[in-house]
Amino acid sequence: MPPRGVILGLFMAQMTTDTHSGAGLRKARTHRVSDALPGETLIGWLKDMLLIREFENRCAQAYQQAKIGGFCHLYTGQEAVAVGTIQSLERDDPIVTAYRDHGHALARGMDPGACMAEMFGKITGCAKGKGGSMHMFDKPNWLFGGHGIVGAQTPLGTGLAFAARYEWEVMGKPCPNPGVKPGDKPKKKVSLAYLGDGALNQGALHEAMNLAGLYSLPVIYVVENNGYSMGTAIERGTTMAHDLRKKADAYGIRGEIIDGFDVIDLYDDFKPVVDWCRENQRPAFVDLKTYRYLGHSMSDPQKYRTKEEVDQFKGKDSIDRLASQLMGERKGKDGKPILSETRFTEIQAEVKEAVRKAMDFAEESPTPEVEAELYSDVFINPQPNLSPTRDYIHGVKNPLL
């Protein structure tokens, strides 16, 4: 048992960009997969990241105006993670995530109007306004949801990997799904199960990782390690926080630590892991270091961290960094930077306009009709003789009994 002073020291240890980036643990890269990417692709990533940032800023305003209700967890600061990991996938690789999910939905290609309408609880939202901020679902884009129970999505991501492998290895054909045409051959897929560092101690994750290791499933557990589970610093609640790969070791799963602050570096490190999982149909676990700039949710006094710490991470902002790379050292065939200042300004204006339109669409959309929607899209299994006289709130009779 370490002396009390040492424990307190651990609790109070301030996170720094150096300690949290995992920089010292990263291997030297001999080959950059991103070198093969056209400049327009990288500009597209910048646009996606700007879109997420603007979307979240406008959500914060709308929340303060009580246009958005319920829980609302913003992704500001973590944009590089959703964009860099999703860009490493095929369009039809399934993904599943936790409740901080707007960034994943937008990065996967969800229409910002459908995403914003969901935030507003409107019928035009991706889940007909019944899910809200924490439950972005987009089947055509293979997003199997944001989930509110910490860690609960990790067995789902494992199941998605099982289904993909089963189609490929046992059925020999893909199930009818968006984008699947008759006669298509099954593909080797990879599923991503995103989780926060707060989910590292959930039993569901460990049961899922055990099965993934045992059955050799092509799932990647992507830990969006922003250093805090609500207000609890990772070192206070999780063993081996300095090297989470050890948790994967226990299940025979490949483990990696990746810096999530530079989207190009992230892609260079993450894409080979995806390719390896796809080819070998094996699982992986990635500790992806990131940071959130805002509170855990909209009501968080943030007493657990200092303003200096937040400012330090803002100093290595992934959007600023990508923009300066594209306007500086990344040159096109003509020897000029691939992004001009004029084009950058245009992109910023396009993004603002896209989010403004999404807001208008959400505001103008109708709310779901209670009669039509309250009991639709709900899985039911009414038990005979179970509360047959039960009334729901406001005196509404249970129509199923």
Ligand X SMILES: Cc1ncc(C[n+]2csc(CCOP(=O)(O)OP(=O)(O)O)c2C)c(N)n1
CB of 201 to Mg ion, least distance (A): 12
Of 299 and 383, which CB lies nearer to ligand X in the complex structure? 299
Q: CA angle, 366 as apex, 362 and 371 as ends, to 5°?
A: 140
Partner that binds at residue 43, options ligand X, Mg ion, none, CB closer than 5 to 8 Å by kind: none
Partner that binds at residue 149, options Mg ion, ligand X, none, CB closer than 5 to 8 Å by kind: ligand X
- Using CA atoms, how far apart are residues 213 and 253, in angstroms rounded to an integer? 6
Residue with tokens 């005979």: 384
CB of 196 to ligand X, least distance (A): 2
| 120 DSSP 8-state letter | T
Partner that binds at residue 199, options ligand X, Mg ion, none, CB closer than 5 to 8 Å by kind: ligand X
Of 141 and 290, which CB lies nearer to Mg ion in the complex structure? 290
Which residues are at the interface with Mg ion (CB under 5 A)? 196-197, 226, 228
Which residues are at the interface with ligand X (CB under 6 A)? 100, 148-150, 196-199, 226, 228-230, 296
Partner that binds at residue 148, options ligand X, Mg ion, none, CB closer than 5 to 8 Å by kind: ligand X
CB of 290 to ligand X, least distance (A): 9
Residue with tokens 């651990």: 10
Of 34 and 229, which CB lies nearer to ligand X in the complex structure? 229
One-letter identity of residue 242:
H
Cβ density class 253-277: b for 16+ within 10 Å, e for less:
bbbbbbbbbbbbbbbbbbbebbebb
Partner that binds at residue 230, options Mg ion, ligand X, none, CB closer than 5 to 8 Å by kind: ligand X
Of 46 and 72, which CB lies nearer to ligand X in the complex structure? 72
CB of 149 to ligand X, least distance (A): 5
Of 121 and 196, which CB lies nearer to ligand X in the complex structure? 196
Which residues on adjacent β-strands are paired with residue 222? 194, 286
Partner that binds at residue 100, options ligand X, Mg ion, none, CB closer than 5 to 8 Å by kind: ligand X
CB of 371 to ligand X, least distance (A): 31
Joined together, the tokens standing for residue 323 give 């923009």
Of 45 and 228, which CB lies nearer to Mg ion in the complex structure? 228
CB of 194 to ligand X, least distance (A): 9
At 118, which helix (H) or strand (E)? helix 112-119
Of 229 and 318, which CB lies nearer to ligand X in the complex structure? 229
- Using CA atoms, how far apart are residues 185 and 173, in angstroms rounded to an integer? 5
Residue with tokens 């710490």: 309
At 43, which helix (H) or strand (E)? helix 39-64
Q: At what angle do helices 39-64 and 341-364 cross, to 10 degrees?
A: 40
Joined together, the tokens standing for residue 279 give 């080819």
What are phi and psi for residue 310, nearest 5 degrees? -60, -45
Of 339, 336, 346, which Cα lies nearest the Cα of 325?
A: 339
Of 42 and 204, which CB lies nearer to ligand X in the complex structure? 204
Which residues on adjacent β-strands are paired with residue 75? none
Residue nearest ligand X, Cβ-based: 196
Of 230 and 240, which CB lies nearer to ligand X in the complex structure? 230
CB of 181 to ligand X, least distance (A): 37
Partner that binds at residue 339, options Mg ion, ligand X, none, CB closer than 5 to 8 Å by kind: none
DSSP annotation string for 191-216: EEEEEEGGGGG-HHHHHHHHHHHHHT
CB of 52 to ligand X, least distance (A): 14
CB of 229 to Mg ion, least distance (A): 5
Burial of 181 (0-12, 13-18, 19+ CB in 10 A): exposed
